[in-house]
């Protein structure tokens, strides 16, 4: 009853605050009127198919924007006014910092300027001789503006011609004209003309015209030939254009400095320090980078026409080697008086300043993992760059950590000790493929070998050996690939306690997942990521992973199910992660995410290996529930065996969705509100598991309640919450407090819960993590 009263009072307070925010007239400064916005009326003389787009474009010119309105009220302005009092209190200071807006008064509005902007934009869109007007509407403390724009029929394109000349540049422009976006019948559009000029200039830069510039190209519109609002468009070079801008340039020489010092002088070309490969001079006093290998990263040769895109791609490839901190390609005109004939010539100089060859790094870490374990750790690494004088990077790292589960529940006392040793060799080329096949970025070949151990208190010790051979490469600015055709993992469970052995005996699903010691197969991941481009208001992120294991081992073993005396896993697994980010002013972001993953065991495997299974709950999943405390389906481990809730709740199918609103609080402190939903399920037939084990109450309940059925939506868990994040230059420490909204393992009529005030046993869960959840 107390909970219901508290909820009711909170709701009433919120309603009262919103209603109270309507009365802002008394706060308006004397002699001022609050600006409430503007309306725009278009009077069009002809039929237009895109009049809505034109209206939207003109409305974007209306300035300033009025204060934000919500349900007819202005709470953001109200928060600002309340915070200006002599003693505003923490509550209003917080609301003003997070959501407040300064008042927009009519004295800040300039209708005449807006009229000019409207006319200018209409001219730019072909509506010449338009008219605009405005009318101010005043009402005591408020004022608004009504704008009117009268649009005559627009001017449309009839012919698009090039004023021809004998200069070489005109011949190249003529070749590019058929690909123009300007079509007969198009309305005059200044933005389209600018885009056409940029397209032509970019094309010229790729055809050798080193000194070409956009402002050298001039468009002239002629309306005198027609009386029905048509125009001819003529393209020509600006008068008195420099002769060097109208001729193509050829690369006459290429000189590379593989060991360039930013502070030092450039080495002279002598027989002792120059190595020539395919007419390219490599200048270095002592061998730092093998010229033959470095030459394969250059995309232009002596005798090629200058190409700005090829030069940029070459610079990107050299930067991606991982051996250089500074890459600079400079061009020098060898004949500054060239005006015609074969054109001019360039000398290309490529300066490469190396990174420090060897480095030792020690890190003290605060480790937080997706399984809910958190604790201190230490990482020691030694890196040797350009180890074989071909850009190769060899690194050895050792790690040690102590972790404990901080979340509440029966597993809060669990702890673990983990350690590992790993060696990795990164080769900046694709063995055995040629680097020239990849224009944007050359794939890197990665070879790694590592050993790890994990000692979990009161339960078991897990030792593992892993090795991989694969490739990583960027296809373009947003697309990233990883392919590991060879991925091997061997693990062995030892020092099993009686408590954990009981868990294995009771749960054949879990037991078989630990028996599969050998995992060998192929891994592929695809990532499309626009998030790093901050100029995008609605970037998307998509990634998918494909994991296939056991096929080659099955052929090698003749289908026996074992190799080197150990059972190996056979399965196919895939997942997909899609995120949409909506950004707007004051660092506010709304992130929505959908995730799906499915693994199918086959052959000699009945279940996925333990490390390959899906889990739900925790700081990177449905945050209102502890790690691995959800599923499969509506299975409730606590009612079956309280000692198994951490280990048993996994599945081979996972569905999840999240929405999170992020906003700034103070300086580096950020806030968030979120909603999470999801669960894991079991799919497939488990009849191969021994019958006597399936007959146990625990196993029968697990496979019955955890199976994915057509009414799976009834088994989706949901939670809501809020959090704070300390974000210092992309290093994020996160605290999220969440509460269940829907609990799938309760009776079907009792699954809905009032967050934070309901009757659920664990009505609040505090998650500590490093990094954003997605």
Among the residue ranges 57-66, 455-464, 584-593, the one predicted with the least confidence is 455-464
Among the residue ranges 43-57, 286-300, 656-670, 680-694, the one predicted with the least confidence is 680-694
pLDDT at 696: 56
Percentage of the chain beyond pLDDT 70 is 86
Confidence bin at 61 (pLDDT 50/70/90): very high
Top-confidence residue, 213 or 437 = 213
* Spatial distance between the Cα atoms of 509 and 573, rounded to a whole number of angstroms: 17
Cβ neighbours of 171 (radius 10 Å): 13
Confidence bin at 372 (pLDDT 50/70/90): low
Respond yes or no on whether the N-terminal peptide bond of residue 432 is cis (omega within 30° of 0).
yes
DSSP structural state of residue 26: G
Is the pLDDT at 190 greater than 80? The verdict is yes
DSSP string, 605-661: -SS--GGGSB---STTS-TTS-TT-S-STT--HHHH-GGGHHHH--BSEEEEEEEEE
Q: How far is CA 395 from CA 308, 319, 363, 422, 694, in A?
A: 36, 19, 15, 8, 48
Whether residue 748 contacts residue 633, with contact meaning beta carbons closer than 8 Å, is answered with no
Give a three-class secondary structure readout of 503-542. Answer: HHHHCHHHHHHHHCCEEEEEEEEEEEECCCCCCCCCCEEE
The 3-state DSSP class for residue 747 equals coil
Cβ neighbours of 531 (radius 10 Å): 15
Q: Which neighbouring-strand residues pair with 739?
A: 720
Top-confidence residue, 123 or 20 = 123
* Residue range 613-625: mean pLDDT, rounded: 90
Q: What is the pLDDT of residues 723-740, one digit of tens each?
A: 999 988 778 888 999 999
Among the residue ranges 18-22, 315-319, 348-352, the one predicted with the least confidence is 18-22
pLDDT at 430: 85
Is the pLDDT at 642 greater than 80? The verdict is no
pLDDT at 164: 80
pLDDT at 11: 46
Q: What is the pLDDT of residues 135-157, one digit of tens each?
A: 999 988 899 999 999 999 999 99
Whether residue 758 contacts residue 4, with contact meaning beta carbons closer than 8 Å, is answered with no
* Spatial distance between the Cα atoms of 416 and 667, rounded to a whole number of angstroms: 36
Task: Kindly list the strands in the beta sheet with 249-257, ordered across the sheet, starting from the edge strand earlier in the chain.
Answer: 274-277, 280-283, 249-257, 344-354, 324-333
Spell out the residues 6+ positions from residue 9 whose beta carbon is closer than 8 angstroms to its own.
none
Is the pLDDT at 411 greater than 80? The verdict is no
Kindly give the pairing relationship between strand 230-237 and strand 156-162: parallel
Confidence bin at 414 (pLDDT 50/70/90): low
Confidence bin at 585 (pLDDT 50/70/90): confident
Among the residue ranges 643-647, 668-672, 764-768, the one predicted with the least confidence is 643-647
* Residue range 623-632: mean pLDDT, rounded: 86
Is the pLDDT at 407 greater than 60? The verdict is no
* Spatial distance between the Cα atoms of 657 and 639, rounded to a whole number of angstroms: 27
* Residue range 213-237: mean pLDDT, rounded: 91
Is the pLDDT at 5 greater than 60? The verdict is no
* Spatial distance between the Cα atoms of 37 and 142, rounded to a whole number of angstroms: 10
Percentage of the chain beyond pLDDT 90 is 47
Q: What is the pLDDT of residues 738-755, one digit of tens each?
A: 999 999 988 888 899 989
Is the pLDDT at 645 greater than 60? The verdict is no
Top-confidence residue, 197 or 501 = 197
* Residue range 681-710: mean pLDDT, rounded: 69
* Residue range 51-61: mean pLDDT, rounded: 90
Is the pLDDT at 588 greater than 70? The verdict is yes
Confidence bin at 686 (pLDDT 50/70/90): low
Q: What is the pLDDT of residues 267-289, one digit of tens each?
A: 666 667 889 998 999 999 889 99
Is the pLDDT at 602 greater than 70? The verdict is yes
pLDDT at 12: 47
Q: Which neighbouring-strand residues pair with 588?
A: 584
Among the residue ranges 48-57, 263-272, 669-678, the one predicted with the least confidence is 263-272
* Residue range 510-534: mean pLDDT, rounded: 85
pLDDT at 302: 94
Is the pLDDT at 688 greater than 60? The verdict is no
- Domains of the chain plus CATH, in order, are 2-151 (3.10.20.310), 156-246 (3.10.20.310), 249-354 (3.10.20.310)
pLDDT at 248: 93
Q: How far is CA 538 from CA 107, 328, 474, 774, in A?
A: 34, 33, 22, 15
Average pLDDT over the chain, rounded to an integer: 85
* Spatial distance between the Cα atoms of 679 and 596, rounded to a whole number of angstroms: 10
Q: Is 721 exposed, middle or buried (0-12, 13-18, 19+ CB in 10 A)?
A: buried
* Residue range 611-628: mean pLDDT, rounded: 88
* Residue range 172-180: mean pLDDT, rounded: 93
Spell out the residues 6+ positions from residue 157 whose beta carbon is closer than 8 angstroms to its own.
182, 183, 184, 185, 186, 187, 188, 230, 231, 232, 233
- pTM reported for the whole predicted model: 0.76
Whether residue 221 contacts residue 231, with contact meaning beta carbons closer than 8 Å, is answered with yes
Q: What is the pLDDT of residues 89-133, one digit of tens each?
A: 888 888 887 788 899 999 999 999 999 999 999 999 999 999 999
Q: Is 585 exposed, middle or buried (0-12, 13-18, 19+ CB in 10 A)?
A: exposed
Q: Which neighbouring-strand residues pair with 600?
A: 572
* Spatial distance between the Cα atoms of 366 and 242, rounded to a whole number of angstroms: 61
Is the pLDDT at 368 greater than 80? The verdict is no
pLDDT at 366: 59
Measured in whole angstroms, the distance separating CA 19 from the mean position of its chain's CA atoms is: 40
pLDDT at 337: 64
Is the pLDDT at 17 greater than 60? The verdict is no
Q: How far is CA 13 from CA 18, 83, 96, 318, in A?
A: 9, 19, 18, 62
Whether residue 451 contacts residue 423, with contact meaning beta carbons closer than 8 Å, is answered with no
Structure tokens at 685: 């037939």
DSSP string, 243-288: GGGGS-EEEEEEEEETT--SSSPPPP--TTTEEEETTEEEE-SS-S
Is the pLDDT at 653 greater than 50? The verdict is yes
Tokens 């691995």 sit on residue:
628
Is the pLDDT at 759 greater than 60? The verdict is yes
Structure tokens at 347: 């000398």
Whether residue 599 contacts residue 608, with contact meaning beta carbons closer than 8 Å, is answered with yes
Burial 641-669 (b: 16+ CB within 10 A, else e): bebbbbbbbbbbbbbbbbebbbbeeeeee
Cβ neighbours of 418 (radius 10 Å): 20
* Spatial distance between the Cα atoms of 743 and 638, rounded to a whole number of angstroms: 14
Whether residue 569 contacts residue 518, with contact meaning beta carbons closer than 8 Å, is answered with yes
Q: Compute the residue count for the chain.
A: 774
Query: What number of CA atoms fall less than 13 Å from residue 528's CA on the CB side?
Result: 10
pLDDT at 4: 44
pLDDT at 268: 67
Q: How far is CA 434 from CA 295, 391, 431, 480, in A?
A: 12, 15, 8, 19
pLDDT at 188: 94
Q: Is 605 exposed, middle or buried (0-12, 13-18, 19+ CB in 10 A)?
A: buried
Top-confidence residue, 263 or 45 = 45
Whether residue 479 contacts residue 527, with contact meaning beta carbons closer than 8 Å, is answered with yes
pLDDT at 30: 84
Is the pLDDT at 10 greater than 80? The verdict is no
pLDDT at 381: 92
* Spatial distance between the Cα atoms of 662 and 591, rounded to a whole number of angstroms: 8
Is the pLDDT at 23 greater than 50? The verdict is yes
Kindly give the pairing relationship between strand 566-567 and strand 156-162: unpaired
Q: What is the pLDDT of residues 75-85, one digit of tens each?
A: 889 989 988 88
* Spatial distance between the Cα atoms of 45 and 42, rounded to a whole number of angstroms: 10
Confidence bin at 426 (pLDDT 50/70/90): very high
Task: Kindly list the strands in the beta sheet with 142-151, ordered across the sheet, starting from the edge strand earlier in the chain.
Answer: 34-44, 142-151, 131-139
Q: How far is CA 44 from CA 47, 112, 282, in A?
A: 7, 21, 67
Kindly give the pairing relationship between strand 156-162 and strand 393-405: unpaired
Spell out the residues 6+ positions from residue 327 whose beta carbon is closer than 8 angstroms to its own.
315, 318, 319, 350, 351, 352, 353
Helices and strands: H and E segment counts in the chain: 16, 29
Is the pLDDT at 380 greater than 50? The verdict is yes
């Amino acid at each position: 009853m107390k909970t219901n009263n508290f909820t009711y009072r909170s709701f009433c307070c919120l309603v009262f605050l919103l209603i109270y925010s309507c009365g802002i007239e008394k706060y308006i400064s004397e002699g001022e009127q609050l600006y409430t916005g503007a309306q725009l009326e278009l009077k069009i003389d002809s039929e237009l198919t895109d009049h809505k787009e034109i209206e939207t474009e003109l409305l974007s010119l209306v300035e300033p924007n009025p204060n934000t309105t919500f349900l007819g009220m202005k709470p953001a302005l109200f928060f600002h006014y309340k915070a200006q009092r002599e003693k505003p209190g923490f509550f209003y200071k917080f609301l003003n910092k997070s959501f407040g807006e300064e008042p927009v008064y009519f004295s800040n509005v300039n209708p005449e300027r807006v009229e000019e902007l409207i006319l200018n934009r209409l001219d730019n869109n072909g509506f010449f001789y338009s008219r605009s007007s405005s009318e101010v509407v005043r009402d005591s403390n408020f004022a608004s503006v009504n704008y009117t724009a009268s649009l005559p029929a627009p001017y449309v394109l009839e012919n698009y011609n090039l004023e021809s000349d004998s200069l070489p540049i005109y011949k190249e422009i003529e070749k590019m004209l058929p690909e123009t976006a300007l079509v007969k019948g198009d309305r005059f559009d200044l933005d389209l003309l600018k885009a056409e000029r940029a397209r032509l200039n970019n094309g010229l830069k790729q055809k050798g015209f080193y000194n070409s510039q956009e402002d050298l190209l001039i468009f002239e519109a002629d309306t005198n030939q027609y009386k029905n609002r048509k125009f001819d468009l003529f393209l020509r070079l600006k008068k008195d254009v420099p002769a060097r801008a109208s001729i193509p340039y050829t690369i006459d020489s290429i000189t590379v400095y593989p060991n360039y010092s930013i502070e030092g002088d450039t080495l002279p070309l002598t027989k002792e320090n120059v190595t020539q490969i395919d007419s390219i001079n490599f200048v270095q006093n002592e061998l730092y980078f093998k010229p033959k290998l470095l030459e394969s990263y250059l995309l232009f040769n002596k005798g090629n026409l200058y190409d700005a895109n090829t030069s940029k791609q070459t610079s990107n490839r050299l930067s991606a080697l991982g051996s250089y901190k500074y890459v600079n390609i400079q061009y020098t005109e060898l004949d500054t008086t060239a005006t015609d004939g074969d054109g001019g010539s360039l000398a290309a100089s490529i300066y490469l300043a190396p990174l420090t060859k060897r480095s030792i790094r020690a890190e003290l870490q605060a480790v937080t993992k997706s399984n809910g374990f958190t604790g201190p750790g230490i990482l020691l690494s030694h890196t040797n760059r350009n180890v074989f004088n071909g850009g190769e990077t060899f690194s050895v790292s050792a790690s040690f950590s102590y972790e404990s589960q901080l979340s509440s529940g029966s597993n809060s006392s669990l702890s673990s000790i983990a350690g590992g040793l790993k060696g990795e060799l990164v080769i900046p080329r694709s063995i055995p493929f040629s680097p020239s096949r990849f224009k944007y970025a050359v794939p890197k070949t990665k070879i790694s070998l590592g050993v790890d151990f994990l000692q979990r208190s009161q339960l078991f010790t897990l030792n593992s050996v892993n090795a991989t051979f694969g490739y990583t490469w960027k296809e373009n600015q947003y697309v990233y690939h990883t392919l590991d055709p060879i991925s091997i993992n061997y693990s062995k469970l030892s020092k099993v306690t009686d408590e954990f052995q009981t868990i294995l005996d009771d749960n054949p699903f879990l037991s078989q997942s630990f028996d599969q010691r050998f995992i060998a197969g192929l891994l592929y991941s695809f990532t499309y990521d626009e998030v790093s481009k901050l100029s995008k208001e609605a970037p998307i992120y998509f990634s998918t992973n494909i994991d296939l294991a056991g096929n080659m081992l099955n052929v090698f073993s003749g289908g026996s199910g074992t190799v080197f005396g150990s059972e190996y896993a056979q399965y196919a697994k895939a997942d997909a992660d899609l995120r949409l980010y909506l950004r707007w002013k004051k660092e506010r972001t709304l992130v929505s995410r959908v995730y799906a993953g499915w693994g199918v065991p086959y052959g000699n495997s009945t279940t996925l290996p333990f490390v390959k299974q899906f889990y739900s709950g925790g700081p990177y999943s449905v945050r209102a529930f502890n790690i691995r405390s959800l599923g499969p389906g509506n299975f409730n481990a606590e009612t079956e065996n309280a000692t198994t809730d951490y280990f048993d709740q996994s599945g081979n199918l996972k569905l999840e969705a999240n929405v999170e609103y992020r906003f700034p609080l103070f300086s580096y402190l950020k806030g968030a509100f979120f909603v999470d939903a999801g669960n894991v399920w079991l799919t497939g037939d488990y009849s191969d598991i021994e019958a006597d084990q399936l007959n146990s109450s625990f196993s029968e309940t697990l496979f019955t309640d955890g199976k994915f059925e057509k009414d799976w939506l009834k088994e989706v868990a949901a939670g809501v919450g809020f959090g704070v994040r300390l974000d210092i230059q992309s290093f994020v420490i996160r605290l999220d407090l969440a509460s269940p909204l829907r609990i799938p393992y309760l009776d079907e009529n009792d699954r809905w819960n009032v967050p934070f005030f309901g009757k659920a046993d664990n009505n609040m869960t505090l998650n500590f993590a490093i990094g954003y959840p997605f």
